[in-house]
């Protein structure tokens, strides 16, 4: 398996020119976010990820996490790596100082998370869910709950989980049946079985703090009757020390296609002690904070695993000699990187990874601005942008990761199909990302049914106008004009789709939902072109110094995306507006 090389310069470029870290550093909430300091810190994070975490990626895939006698054992080296990760302080980087955090912008944490996730996706899932647990408690926990749980969660001494899914409910969370019975002491007794609990049990930390959705007696049906509870693996005493076990049994671990080192647990709660978070029947609203955090992080996983596959593909293409490239001496074999179709595949990988990285980081920036910008109007605008971009940032990068990791296998040819190359693991790991934290079809329905109508469609319209403005700026620069033309065409097609689906939504929602996935793909591709356009403008302005080769490559990548990828947008317009008739033309009994 290819060693991981952290793409630090690419990440720094996106932080500076797309996610606007220099502006975030002026916010009162981020006193330590000096860009120069951040770049230095990321260099250390990259070294740690490459040297400590990345070597365990193949180990975890081979060994899996295992369950025996009620206890879960993680693969060789994971406990030591997690202890080093915890000691490094990286888990706390974006949390407030008052709870032991580093007070950095979330977009900086996103950069750290990319490094860790690319090094070892299965490993990264454990801290990812802990971050969401912290956010949920910071926002909705009581003072007592914060005092007892936050310090240990922020420091990663304890880990957190998100416990939603049940066998008969699946993505229909409103159908869950787990019970929460109130007790005289103010606690609840939680009883029920939950499935697909990522890092639901393990041996990395002293305690696991489960965020559990359940129903109290007489709760209304559906999502309106769901409450959220803290259910720790071990009870926590008033002084923060650990008490007795809390009747949370790990029934089994799922045998999965990929992310083998990540223990995906079936958990049984048997009158386990739970603490209500916030108010009864508000659990779904609270949990959306954790779910939306996870959705962005899953989008980042798409970028990360695709990056790992790209690096391996490039290394192989440079070394593998086969055939003779056009113009090469007749007596010599050429590295396959010299063949046009291999170069096409590599650039498809590279351009889409860079576009998706920009999209995820831009969405993370919107979180920071929506919470901390000093101007209320800017906070509101950023919150709307975040709402629109969250489903897109979850779906498009993850669909991209499946395509890119498959291309990675193709670049290696027959060797790519062999496990020892490492490529099959990347493909298998990537395949879960369009599924969990809300399938990409669910994200598409959310985008069309809930996000497109925000402010009567004006929020999306304003984003499209901003994209068109970038296209105008590109068109004004001779070398970048083709990028501007391609972006203009994509924005025009996306605008037409937005208007058409908005009308369908009012007349027949089924027609709108039938076009939701093509529309979401259009949005992701166009957003990628928009942000690569910004990158190209920044790179062009920076030419004339020591980084000219790097900047020229940024422009070339944006040009390739504009010429080879953005044209897909207009091709998706007909299916986006086709309506539901064709989908239901064949009766169910003849499918």
Residues with a catalytic annotation lie at 437
- Say if CB 207 and CB 244 are below 8 A apart: no
- The residues near 368 (Cβ < 8 Å, ≥ 6 apart) are 24, 27, 30, 105, 106, 107
> Which tokens is 409 given?
């296998």
The single-letter DSSP state of residue 433 is T
The single-letter DSSP state of residue 336 is G
Q: Tell me the C-alpha distance between 533 and 362, whole Å.
A: 13
Q: Tell me the C-alpha distance between 176 and 194, whole Å.
A: 9
DSSP codes of every residue in 102-164: ----HHHHHHHHHHHHHH-HHHHHHHHHHHHHHHHHHHH--HHHHHHHHHHHHTTSEEEEEE-
What are the CA-CA distances from residue 101 to residues 2, 133, 580 (Å)? 34, 14, 49
> Can you list the alpha helix ranges (DSSP code H) found in 206-339?
283-319
Which stretch of DSSP H or E encloses residue 242? strand 242-245
Phi-psi region of 139 (alpha: psi -120 to 50; beta: other; left: phi over 0): alpha
Tokens 């129903």 belong to: 215
Q: Tell me the C-alpha distance between 133 and 117, whole Å.
A: 18
Q: Is 309 exposed, middle or buried (0-12, 13-18, 19+ CB in 10 A)?
A: buried
Sign of CA dihedral 385, 390, 395, 400: positive
DSSP codes of every residue in 7-42: -HHHHHHHHHHTS-HHHHTTSTT-TT--HHHHHHHH
- Say if CB 285 and CB 243 are below 8 A apart: no
Longest CA–CA span in the chain (Å) reads 87
């Amino acid at each position: 398996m290819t060693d991981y090389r952290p793409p630090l310069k690419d990440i720094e470029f996106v932080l500076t020119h797309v996610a606007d870290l220099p502006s975030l550093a002026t916010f009162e909430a981020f006193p330590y976010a000096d860009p120069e300091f951040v770049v230095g810190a990321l260099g250390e994070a990259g070294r740690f990820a490459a040297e400590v975490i990345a070597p365990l990626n193949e180990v975890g895939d081979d060994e899996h996490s295992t369950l025996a006698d009620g206890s879960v054992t993680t693969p060789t080296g994971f406990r030591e790596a997690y202890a080093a990760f915890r000691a490094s302080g990286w888990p706390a980087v974006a949390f407030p100082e008052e709870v032991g955090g580093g007070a950095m912008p979330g977009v900086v944490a996103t950069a750290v998370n990319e490094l860790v996730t690319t090094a070892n996706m299965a490993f990264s899932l454990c801290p990812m869910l802990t971050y969401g647990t912290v956010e949920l408690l910071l926002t909705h926990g009581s003072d007592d709950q914060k005092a007892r749980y936050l310090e240990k969660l922020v420091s990663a001494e304890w880990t957190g989980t998100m416990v939603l899914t049940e066998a008969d409910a699946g993505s229909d969370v409103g159908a869950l049946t787990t019970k929460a019975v109130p007790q005289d002491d103010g606690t609840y007794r939680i009883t029920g079985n939950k499935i697909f609990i990522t890092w639901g049990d393990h041996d990395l930390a002293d305690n696991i703090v489960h965020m559990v959705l359940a129903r109290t007696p007489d709760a209304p049906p559906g999502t309106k009757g769901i409450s959220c509870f803290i259910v720790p693996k071990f009870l926590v005493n008033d002084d923060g020390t650990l008490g007795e076990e809390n009747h949370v049994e790990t029934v089994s671990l799922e045998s999965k296609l990929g992310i083998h080192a990540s223990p995906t647990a079936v958990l049984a709660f048997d009158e386990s002690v739970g603490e209500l978070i916030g108010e009864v029947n508000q659990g779904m609203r609270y949990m959306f904070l954790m779910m939306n955090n996870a959705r962005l992080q899953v989008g980042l996983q798409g970028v990360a695993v695709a990056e790992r596959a790209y690096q391996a593909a490039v290394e192989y293409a440079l070394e593998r000699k086969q055939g003779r490239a056009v113009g090469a001496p007749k007596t010599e074999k050429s590295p396959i990187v010299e063949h046009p179709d291999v170069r096409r595949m590599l650039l498809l990988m590279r351009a889409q990874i860079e576009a998706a990285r920009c999209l995820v980081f831009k969405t993370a920036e919107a979180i920071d601005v929506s919470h901390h910008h000093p101007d209320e109007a800017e906070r509101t605008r950023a919150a709307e942008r975040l709402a629109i971009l969250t489903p897109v940032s979850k779906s498009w990068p993850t669909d991209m990761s499946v395509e890119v990791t498959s291309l990675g296998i193709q670049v290696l040819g027959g060797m790519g199909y062999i496990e020892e190359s490492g490529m099959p693991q990347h493909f298998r790991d990537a395949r879960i990302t369009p599924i969990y934290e809300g399938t990409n079809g669910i994200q598409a329905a959310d985008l069309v049914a809930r996000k497109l109508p925000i402010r009567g469609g004006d929020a999306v319209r304003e984003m499209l106008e901003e994209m068109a403005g970038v296209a105008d700026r590109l068109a004004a620069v001779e070398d970048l004009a083709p990028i501007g033309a391609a972006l203009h065409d994509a924005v025009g097609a996306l605008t037409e789709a937005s208007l058409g689906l908005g009308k369908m939504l009012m007349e027949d929602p089924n027609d709108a939902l039938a076009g939701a996935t093509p529309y979401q793909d259009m949005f992701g591709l166009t957003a990628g072109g928009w942000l690569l356009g910004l990158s190209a403008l920044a790179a062009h302005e920076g030419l004339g110094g020591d980084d000219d080769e790097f900047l020229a490559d940024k422009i070339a990548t944006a040009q390739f995306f504009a010429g080879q990828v953005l044209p897909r947008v207009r091709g998706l317009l007909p299916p986006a507006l086709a309506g539901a008739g064709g989908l239901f033309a064949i009766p169910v009994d003849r499918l």
